[in-house]
Amino acid sequence: MFSRWNWVACGFYLVLNICSPDASGGLVQSCGHIIPESPVLALGSNFTALCILNETCLDFGNIYANQIIWKIKNRVVPKEQYREINRTVSSVTFNDTSSLATPLTCNILADGQIEQNIYGITVTVGLAPEKPKNLSCIVHQMSRFTYVMNCTWNPGRHTFLDTEFRLKYSWPEEVFPDCIPKGVNNSCTINDIQFFVNTEIWVEAANALGKAESDRLVVDPVDIVKPLSPQNVSVSSGILPTVLKLSWENRISHAVMLLKFNIRYRIIGETSWMEVPSEDTASPRTSFSVQGLRPYTGYAFSIRCMKEDGVGYWSDWTEEKTGITTEDKPSKGPPIWRIIDASHSPASWTVHLMWKALKPFEANGVILQYEVTVRDKSSLSSPLKKYNVTSTNHTLQLPKGTYEVTVVARNSVGASPPSVLLIPASNSEAPVKNLRTLPKHDKLWVGWTAPNSYVLKYVIEWCLVSSSSDCIIEWQIALGDVQGVDLKGIKPFKCYLITVYPLYADGQGSGQSVKAYLKQDRPSKGPTVQTKKVGKAEAVLTWNHLTVEEQNGFIRNYTILYKTIDGNETVVTVDPSKTEYTLSSLTSDTLYTVRMMASTDNGSRTGPDFTFTTQKFGKGEIEAIVVPVCLAFLLIVLLGVLFCFNKRDLIKKHIWPIVPDPSKSNIAQWSPQVPAKHNFNSKDQMYPEGSFTDVSVVEIEADDKKSFSEQDLKPFDLLKKEKSTSEGHSSGIGGSSCMSSPRQSVSDSDEGETTQNTSSTVQYSTVVLNGYRDQTPVQVFSRSESTQPLLDSEERSEDHAGGADSTAQRQQYFRQNGGQDENNTDRPCFERAKQITHANEGDFVGFVQLQVSGQSSQPLGLGMEKNTQEAALSNVLQTCTQGQTVRPETVEENPLSVDDMPKSYLPQTVRQGGYMPQ
């Protein structure tokens, strides 16, 4: 219990002792202190500190050294480093100060629990300064009378402490103020510099841990001067075109030092400097004449200086000053060449002379004009022609021949030596051999093998090959002893045509050409391929060559790549000279995709895809199928026709059943000599409805039987034999068919058979055979309006030729002409006429109408003059009507007797399908 109160009292005392004002004057009276107080320690050294307790604290607070705890920045120092020296002193030792930190405190553990701080110190750790090294000084001239000396040194390692550097300098009997660097620790500048006295210069570095001095530098400041460069430099041209004079002012007095100089110069526009030999400018001076310069050339000059003996430093170079040398006459003639155009006339040339402007160092001034002289070497008497030209080309019209052209360049000082070009009538000399090219970076080297003869010089022409413009020729001349030149200004990926001509003393060799690229690239586009022809298993592809601008190099080959939609790609390489290729072994009726690739040495480029489909059938396959099929069809048709022809009767019987012919009615059976064959259709065409109006009686007169042929007359003979007494002129009650003969009209009283046939029939029609009044008799059928039924027994297969239409037409006709008698005609005559031709229906109509009106007696033949066939028909008809007179008479008024009428029976010849007389 006592102990507890004792410790409380002790702690309270400590607090009071620390915090109460000290009677001796301090605010705080500590119970102890640390020795040393705020030390500066060398990094890496060992260090021992002592904490000494006050006696007063010992007596009152029971505080002893064994209770001391050392701390470094709140970190307790291990007790192994403590040592209790006595009951009031405790020490702590650090073997390496690098482990120290600030603050280092001495603390007491009161009653084993309460830690109280007794004292603390700040520990500074660092390094002593190193000896400054590499001291060097240089005196800068600031103005004509002002010099400053700047000294630099190496301050050495970092000390971690405040370290002061001082630059010191002195004379043996004069000590000058130190130069203290501001802001830096490695240089200082001294303003008051006196020359010609050896000055001792050194650097002193000092901090809390020590002091160090550099080696001493003893130097006369005049020996370390960097003077100002000369000023007011001027350049003036002298009398000589190769000399420029430089003048300047020095900015350092002779009393201080004598100077030597460096002069450098360069041509304006160039970067490389040339220097005047130093021994020429090793003495003090304020001017110098630079010689060996090019005439009429701009030069830039620069000067620097230093102490004459070479001790010290060079000044900076002055700013460049420029000057131009004066002109001199051109040093050489311009290179000359020509282009000859002989296309206009076979006897003359257009000679384009061209020469290159002299380079500045050759022209030596401004070229005012060129003097061109042309001499015809083939004609000694021809005068010398002179031209003054200001451009670099001149065009002449010259007769073909050998000429010597001379060009002289002239400036304000004089003329150049002449340049001579021989233009021979022909380039008959030997050409160069083995012309070749080789790219060299940005130049294209052209090499050749010299001819055996001595060559004065070579002319190398080149031009950029273009598909859109002409080749613009550039050229240059090489001396005769070289066998290769570098062409400059060659663009990559462009094709150049290079030609080399050797020039001899007495002529010129022909040019040898080669194409070349400086650099190749892959083509800028690929060829566009298309098909020219597509077959079943092959396709002909065609394409155009790439233009030279698109090639970008030599096309080594074309590659054709083609494939089906789902097939593998097939590759074909094609020679670059071709523009067509045939793909073979293709699959028929298949879609192919083809593209084409052009390749140079540096790559390839593919053109657009093109698709095509092969054909399904090959050439001739369709023909091979169609032709036999057609032939077979034709054969079948032919066979069918033949078969039908052979079986026509049978076919006819099935296809065209026998229809009773009204014309073969009972009346028709009066005349058994009805022609075997009737063509009602033709009749209808010949006698259309309405052709007859008032005809009632037709007379047929056989005036001249001789005009008929025997065959034609047979019916008449037969008619006679039948002793017909009537001409068969029906009298109004029906009419016979066309096949009815006149006998039908009279047979009612004669032939028994006929009588039998006709006794039970009614006459339907009257056949009119006679022409009217010597005109061609017209066979006319008039339909009877009798309602008496037709006789089936009279049916003839031939009678159906007219068809139902004819019947209908006739019926119509009969309606129009009801009550009138029909004319009858002689059937044989008409039958023959019909065999010759089918007369124009209209003609007949017209004829019949005229005949009916009785207003014209024009024969029938006149109505058919225009047509030979019609004429033939007319002839036949006329022939047929010879000896017959057709009189249009009314039946009632003028009935004809049989005796008066010629026989009108048709011959009863047996004809197939015809009518056989009974």
Partner 1 sequence: MAAADSPSAALRRRDLCSRGIRLAGKMRADVVDLLDIYVEQQGLDASASVAAVEGVPLAAVERWDEQTGTQRLLENLAAYRAFRALLAQMLEEQREQLGEADAGLGRALAAVLLQVSAFTYHLEELLRLESRGIPGEEGDGPPPPPRLSLFEQKLRGLGVLRELAQWAVRSARDLRQLAKPGSATGTAPGLAESP
Residues near partner 1, by CB under 8 A? 145, 171-174, 192, 194-198, 220, 222, 253-256
User: Which DSSP symbol is given to 57?
Assistant: H
CB of 172 to partner 1, least distance (A): 6
Of 218 and 366, nearer to partner 1 (C-beta) is 218
Output the six-digit token pair for 135: 């001291």
Nearest C-alpha neighbor of 217 from the set 162, 302, 152, 310:
152
Nearest C-alpha neighbor of 779 from the set 713, 876, 705:
876
CB of 320 to partner 1, least distance (A): 32
Of 194 and 283, nearer to partner 1 (C-beta) is 194
Determine the angle formed by the axes of helices 710-721 and 827-836, rounding to 10 degrees: 160
Enumerate the H helices of 699-826 as residue ranges: 710-721, 742-746, 752-759, 803-816
Of 173 and 470, nearer to partner 1 (C-beta) is 173
Output the six-digit token pair for 31: 């119970």
How far is the C-alpha of 697 from the C-alpha of 340, rounded, in Å? 110
CB of 183 to partner 1, least distance (A): 24
CB of 169 to partner 1, least distance (A): 12
How far is the C-alpha of 222 from the C-alpha of 724, rounded, in Å? 182
How far is the C-alpha of 61 from the C-alpha of 111, rounded, in Å? 10
Of 176 and 387, nearer to partner 1 (C-beta) is 176
CB of 303 to partner 1, least distance (A): 23
Of 306 and 906, nearer to partner 1 (C-beta) is 306
Of 12 and 171, nearer to partner 1 (C-beta) is 171
Of 181 and 221, nearer to partner 1 (C-beta) is 221
How far is the C-alpha of 672 from the C-alpha of 793, rounded, in Å? 12
How far is the C-alpha of 634 from the C-alpha of 627, rounded, in Å? 10
Nearest C-alpha neighbor of 339 from the set 286, 284, 299, 396:
396
Output the six-digit token pair for 407: 């060009």
Of 101 and 175, nearer to partner 1 (C-beta) is 175
Question: Alpha carbon 521 to chain centroid distance?
Answer: 16
Q: Is 434 left (phi over 0), alpha (psi -120 to 50) or beta?
A: left
Helix-, strand-, coil-residue percentages of the chain, each rounded to 5: 20, 30, 45
CB of 202 to partner 1, least distance (A): 19
User: Which DSSP symbol is given to 112?
Assistant: T
CB of 179 to partner 1, least distance (A): 16
Which residues lie across from 539 on neighbouring strands?
A: 534, 583
The type of residue at 828 is P
Which residues lie across from 108 on neighbouring strands?
A: 68, 116
Nearest C-alpha neighbor of 560 from the set 602, 521, 588, 531:
531
Determine the angle formed by the axes of helices 827-836 and 868-881, rounding to 10 degrees: 160
Of 194 and 426, nearer to partner 1 (C-beta) is 194
Of 198 and 544, nearer to partner 1 (C-beta) is 198
Of 82 and 195, nearer to partner 1 (C-beta) is 195
Of 134 and 146, nearer to partner 1 (C-beta) is 146
CB of 258 to partner 1, least distance (A): 10
Question: In terms of DSSP bridges, do strands 433-440 and 419-423 run parallel, antiparallel, or are they unpaired?
Answer: unpaired
CB of 196 to partner 1, least distance (A): 4
How far is the C-alpha of 694 from the C-alpha of 823, rounded, in Å? 10
Q: Is 826 left (phi over 0), alpha (psi -120 to 50) or beta?
A: beta
Those residues with Cβ within 8 angstroms of residue 490's Cβ, 6 or more apart along the chain or in another chain: 442, 443, 444, 462, 496, 518
Of 197 and 808, nearer to partner 1 (C-beta) is 197
Q: Helix or strand or coil: residue 232? A: strand
The residue behind tokens 């039987």 is 705
Angle at 748 between CA 747 and CA 754, to 5 degrees: 60
Nearest C-alpha neighbor of 330 from the set 298, 292, 290, 371:
371
CB of 229 to partner 1, least distance (A): 21
Of 6 and 283, nearer to partner 1 (C-beta) is 283
Output the six-digit token pair for 176: 């000058």
Output the six-digit token pair for 294: 């090019």
Of 197 and 627, nearer to partner 1 (C-beta) is 197
CB of 304 to partner 1, least distance (A): 22
CB of 171 to partner 1, least distance (A): 6
**Beta carbons of 500 and 460 less than 8 angstroms apart:** yes
CB of 197 to partner 1, least distance (A): 4
**Beta carbons of 775 and 886 less than 8 angstroms apart:** yes
Of 182 and 254, nearer to partner 1 (C-beta) is 254
CB of 292 to partner 1, least distance (A): 37
CB of 263 to partner 1, least distance (A): 26
Output the six-digit token pair for 366: 């401004």
Q: Helix or strand or coil: residue 835? A: helix
